[in-house]
A and B are shown apart, each in its own frame.
Chain A
Amino acid sequence: MPPTAHAAAPAAAPPAALPQGSPVPNRPITLFINGHDHVVMVEDRTTLLDALRERLHLTGTKKGCDQGQCGACTVHLDGQRVLACLTLARQAEGSAIATIEGLAGADGTLHAVQAAFLAEDAFQCGFCTPGQIMSAVACIREGHAGSEAEIREYMSGNLCRCGAYPHIVAAVQRAAAALPSEASS
């Protein structure tokens, strides 16, 4: 859809849309996830989160609110953290998508952030954890892990109801110290 479609629509009438109840075409797209191409059938309205979870069975990425409020679905798109529930699957075409399943090395070696979460007991139920970890990896890479206060600020998009926050902050600090090159880049 051209980007001007909405702007061009008259204020009184919504932009042309399919009538409610019309068939919505399922089309194949190719998503590049954790270093591999995946062909997946999606509707235009399918979110990246539902494509990952329901269609590709990559269920490590969690749905906590489906409204962009909790951070549980955080993944990386070309290295940037995004909320998969607010990203349409088609928007992610052509980008490198990274999810929690691809974070450890091919030989199973944990990423420094994963190892730090385990060492600091930075989770309890574990449901928000993939999102926290993906956020933490980006937080360190962005150079926002310089102090406890900075980590808290830049991790505040990821809710944890078990209240593991102090341990998550400690884990991010520990991982940042183990990843000096990333932190300074």
Chain B
Amino acid sequence: MSPLDISPQRGDAGDGIGGRPPRIDGLAKIRGEAAYAMDQPVEGLAHAVLVTATIAAGWVRGIDRTAAEAAPGVLLVLTPGNTPPLHAASTWTGEAPPTSEYRPLEPEIRHVGQQIALVVAESLEQATEAATLLRVDYEAAPFLADFTVPDAGEGQDLPPLTIERGDADTALASADIRISAEYGTPREYNVPIEPHGLTARWDGDALTLWEPSQWLDGMARNYAEWFGIGFEQVRLISPYIGGGFGSKALALPHGAIAAQAARMLGRPVKLVLTRPQTFTAFGGRAATRQLLELGADADGHLLAIRHRGWQETSRNGLWVEPLNAATALMYEVPHLSSRQRVVPVNTVTPSAKRAPGENPSAFALECAMDELAYALGQDPLALRLRNEPGRDPHSGKLWSSRRMREAYAAGADSFGWARRNPTPGAMRDGPLRLGWGMAAGTYPVRRSAGEAMVRILADGGVEVASSTSDMGTGAYTILAQTAASVFGLPLARVRVTLGDSTLPRAPVSGGSQMAGLMTGAVDKAARAAREELIGLALNDPRSPLRGVANTLAVAEGRLIAPRGEAPPLPIAELLTAIGRDRVEALRDTLAENGLKPEDRYRAFTTVSTMRAPTDGEYSMHSWCAHFVELAVDEALGSVRLRRIVTAFDAGLLYNPRLAESQIKGGIVMGIGQALLEGGIVDRRHARVLNNNLADYLLPTHADIPPIEVISVGEPDPHASALGGKGVGELGIVGLAAAIANAVFHATGKRVRDLPITLADLC
């Protein structure tokens, strides 16, 4: 298929699924009316400030609270010495806790920035001042600053990530062309512009939390277990989330201590992390290192990959960033050996940042493919096409859909890749050297059950409700579109309520699974409500349509007899006639995911029932191809992006306008990863030095070039009920490699450690 055959966008389907309406939550956001968690007015609020450890390892021998407690307005000072333990909670994967107690303020210190005290006062200013008055007596102990220090060692093997396919060592030894290189990524931070925080209020044994959440039911379970109360006694409210990117899915230590303070005080407590605290109160992406050896025959057919990965974790928690996630499935490779080790150091436990696993995996693999292309004297795109696998080389299953060739074709065509002079440094614009680089990316289709309520109202409008959340993904809008499609209604007649744990259940909005599973749940509930409505119209003795028609359709808020047996009947008139004020249906998709009703709680409050992309007949993934042009000023060592074209296959796009925005957002975050972002560890103290937004550099307006995104996806009926695949994480995967490859093309310098900075290019 030539790129000309590919329609870059689905047709405009109006307000239904596949249409491009603007965000329905947009008006509230542009007016400043959208009430995020920290915006909620709560009567009688007290303000808390967190105090954190300034040493990397050791013990808090004692904290002198005298001055702080005497400071004006101070209500409560919690330290390890005066804070009773909570119950330990089971993990987000559903495993029982190893201990019975959980201490949100521990005397043992394992990383700089660990919370050691909480000061609560009448005002934020008072709490902030009083927090400076604590005198902490530490007993310091030796520490490991990061995984590059010699004492950190090689860490522990992660056997579940071992892959031995064929005989990689022998195949490498006999390969015509071999490359071997080591790639590194630093600690990266999620940095949503909304800092983490919460307001906690107790009413007897009932706990209400206003806290930004990518997973209301999972976090509510965690709080319930910490405080030994029922799940139904916790209400978590999070109608809007100021960005999360993986970091707002779990209940965190600062949430525990704030809720505990609220209970001890008998007053609502609001705690917002300071921006520096957001670098240590929860983890970002683990620092990683990968050693990759690729072997190919003289034509460029890959024969073998040998992959060794290392990543950081903390001294007291295991986070796994699967570094072979892309390595094992991007290309046709008969021989693959992959191992991964995890190195504990004195840092906060790393966690999920956009595309955990696939992101660093693709960075190394896609740079290595570029290196192999140059070693072979081949075009990097041609090399990829030569090794395009017909089925998943890891599981052996067929792809549910893999429109990678179409993505390469569409991206290359729009970018003009054919005009590229492959010689490094050969393309110039005056004194600047131009670099054209490309790379591929992928993200798996994860699936979980969802649940939704759809309610047809007396005025013919429709309500949709679920505890899922919208952190900018477009959940409000696409779920409204789903219902609008079923009822043939304009979007303005659909109201969507999300982000409240008392609503029907939803699993984590993470792993790019929300849109697929929640459109499926809403579609199912909407169809059920529609069937019930039609049943009432056909069968209720008071229905004007009873006995008039055998079947009915619903469109534009009216019941329509297919052969014109009766004039269209507005839903409102039917409901009045039959004495109902609503028709509603609550449906879940447990059965569609192989689950039973008794799995319901576990399915929505843990990830233990999340299905792998190869669970079933097919291997299911989204795909993308990035093409990047940049300019390097060699005198300054500066890199300026000029344009980016990304073509992607994420199946059907429920709302292409919003999906394109999200893909572009992933690309922008990838630009940061490639050129700007990285935690700088002061190894003398195991501190992240750049723990603020002036020193941890995020991309700004001035860093971002024109970005074109092209959807080449087709509906994938295996991936989800309505045919979409994951979008949220896809755009970032492979982008940093495309930039690194473009930098090589511009300069001949192969930079294998991110971020690529002036120091690498001068």
> B-contacting residues of A (Cβ < 8 Å)?
20-24, 43, 45-46, 50, 53-54, 57, 59-67, 69-70, 72, 99-101, 103-104, 110, 114, 117-119, 121, 123-130, 133, 151-153, 155-169
B358 to chain A, nearest CB (A): 18
> Is B701 engaged at the interface, CB distance under 8 Å to the other chain?
yes
Determine the chain A residues whose CB is within 8 A of the CB of B31 once the complex forms.
Answer: 60, 100-101, 103-104, 110, 114
Known: A21-B129, A121-B22, A163-B669. A62 touches B194 (CB 8 A): yes
Residues of A within 8 A of B706 (CB): 166
- B739 is an interface residue with CB less than 8 A from chain A: no
- A64 & B194 in contact (Cβ 8 Å cutoff): yes
Q: B472 touching A125 by the CB < 8 A rule? A: yes
Partner of B667, one of A119, A121, A163: A163
Residue of A nearest to B276 (CB): A67
Whether B693 contacts A124 by the Cβ 8 Å rule is no
Asked whether B664 lies within 8 Å of A163 as measured between CB atoms, the reply is yes
Q: Which residues of A contact B192 (CB under 8 A)?
A: 125, 127, 161
With contacts A61-B32, A66-B275, A165-B701 taken as known, whether A159 is within 8 angstroms of B693 at the C-beta atoms is yes
Residue ID in chain B nearest A41 by CB atoms: B123
B191 at the interface (CB under 8 A from A): yes
Q: Are B125 and A21 in contact (CB under 8 A)?
A: no
A42 → chain B closest CB, angstroms = 9
Report whether B661 and A126 are in contact in the complex, using a CB–CB cutoff of 8 Å.
Answer: no
Known: A121-B26, A152-B701, A159-B193. 10 other contacts (CB 8 A): A20-B71, A21-B72, A45-B125, A50-B124, A65-B275, A69-B275, A101-B33, A110-B30, A156-B701, A166-B706
Selected contact of B30 from candidates A129, A161, A165, CB within 8 Å? A129
Whether the Cβ atoms of B32 and A118 lie closer than 8 Å is no
**Interface-side segment among B110-118, B241-249, B515-523, B582-590:** B241-249
Chain B at the A interface: mostly helix, strand, loop or mixed? loop
Is B148 in the interface zone, CB < 8 Å from A?
Answer: no
Contact A164 B30 (CB under 8 A): no
CA A62 to CA B240, docked complex, whole Å: 13
A-B contact pairs, 21 of them (CB 8 A): A21-B72, A21-B130, A24-B72, A24-B129, A45-B125, A59-B38, A59-B39, A64-B194, A65-B275, A67-B275, A70-B193, A70-B693, A72-B193, A99-B32, A114-B31, A121-B661, A125-B192, A125-B194, A161-B669, A161-B698, A163-B666
> Do B242 and A62 have beta carbons less than 8 Å apart?
yes
Given A114-B31, A125-B240, A162-B665, the answer on whether A23 and B72 have CB atoms closer than 8 Å is: yes
B704 touches A129 (CB 8 A): no
Q: Which residues of B contact A165 (CB under 8 A)?
A: 668, 699-701, 704
Is B576 an interface position by the 8 A CB rule? Answer: no
Q: Could you say which residues of chain A place their CB within 8 Å of the CB of B193?
A: 62, 64, 70, 72, 125, 127-128, 159-161
Bound-complex Cα distance A59 to B32 (A): 7
Interface flag for B553 (CB, 8 Å): no
Q: What separation, in Å, do the CA atoms of A100 and B33 have in the docked complex?
A: 9
Residues of A near B72 (CB, < 8 A) are 21-24
Q: In chain B between 119 and 140, which residues have their CB closer than 8 angstroms to a CB of chain A?
A: 123-126, 129-130, 132-133
The CA-CA distance from A45 to B36 in the complex, in Å, is 25
Interface string of B681-710 (1 = CB under 8 A from A): 000000000001110001111101011000
Bound CA span A119–B694, Å? 31
Are B274 and A126 in contact, with the CB atoms below 8 A? Answer: no
Q: Is the CB of B30 within 8 A of A133?
A: yes
| CB-contact partner of B27 in A20, A118, A151, A156, under 8 A | A118
A72 to B194, CA, bound (A): 9
- A114 to B706 alpha-carbon distance, docked (Å): 22
Q: Which residues of A have CB within 8 Å of B242?
A: 62, 64, 125-128
Q: Are A127 and B36 in contact, with the CB atoms below 8 A? A: yes
Alpha-carbon separation in the docked complex, A151 to B245 (Å): 27
Give Cα A121–Cα B477 distance, bound, in whole angstroms: 12
Please give, as numbers and ranges, the residues of chain B lying within 8 Å of A50 by CB-CB distance. 124-125
The residues of B that contact A152 with a CB separation of less than 8 Å are 701-702, 704
Contact B29 A123 (CB under 8 A): yes
CB distance from B762 to the nearest CB of A (A): 24
Contact assessment for B694 and A69 in the assembled complex, using a CB-CB cutoff below 8 Å: yes
Bitwise interface map of B from 654 to 675 toward A, beta carbon under 8 Å scored 1, else 0: 0001100110111111000000
Q: Which of B472, B666, B669 contacts A123 (CB 8 A)?
A: B472
